[in-house]
Amino acid sequence: MNSKPIYISQTDNQQIRRRIPAFADHKRFREAVANLLAELNRAVLVNDHTLSPDVVALDSVVEVADLVSGECELYTLTLPDTANAALNRISVFSPLGTALLGYASGDEFTWQMPGGLRQLRIVTVRQTTGPEPIRA
């Protein structure tokens, strides 16, 4: 949905693509899968060790600002099996998760969400070493 380049590690690209068949045949997920595939296909793939630490990748903790409302939220981008909305762990298959993937701190973009277009800015990105434990 945006023309600004995004950057994705080869490992993240492989992990996400491996999970697409599980969602592709479900009518409810068709649009989300199509949007995610479009982003993966336009992404610049980089070696894992050369991906800049300020780029949103799987398991990144991301502070996102809504440029219209001014609200900021903190999310962790995850694969579907570790997503938990109550803990702000969002799946890369969700509209917001797909929107964040591959952008870097300071990037601003517009993305179609279920409630309409949103103008967003990546405020900060913090990398983790893998899925953080889910705490109730």
Q: Using alpha carbons only, how large is the chain's radius of gyration in Å? A: 14
pLDDT at 136: 41
- Whether pLDDT at 3 is above 80: no
Using CA atoms, how far apart are residues 61 and 99, in angstroms rounded to an integer? 14
In this model, does residue 82 exceed pLDDT 60? yes
Longest dimension (CA), the chain: 39
Separation between Cα atoms, residue 63 and residue 74, nearest integer Å: 4
Q: What angle do CA 27, 111, 3 make, to 5 degrees?
A: 110
For position 106, what pLDDT does the model report?
96
Measured CA to CA in angstroms, residue 116 lies from 53, 58, 112 at distances of: 30, 25, 6
The CATH number fitting domain 7-126, selected from 3.30.830.10, 3.40.50.460, 3.90.280.10, 3.10.50.30: 3.10.50.30
Instruction: Please report the pLDDT score of residue 111 as a whole number.
Output: 84
Q: What is the pLDDT of residues 37-50, one digit of tens each?
A: 999 999 999 999 99
In whole angstroms, what is the distance from residue 128 CA to residue 71 CA?
24
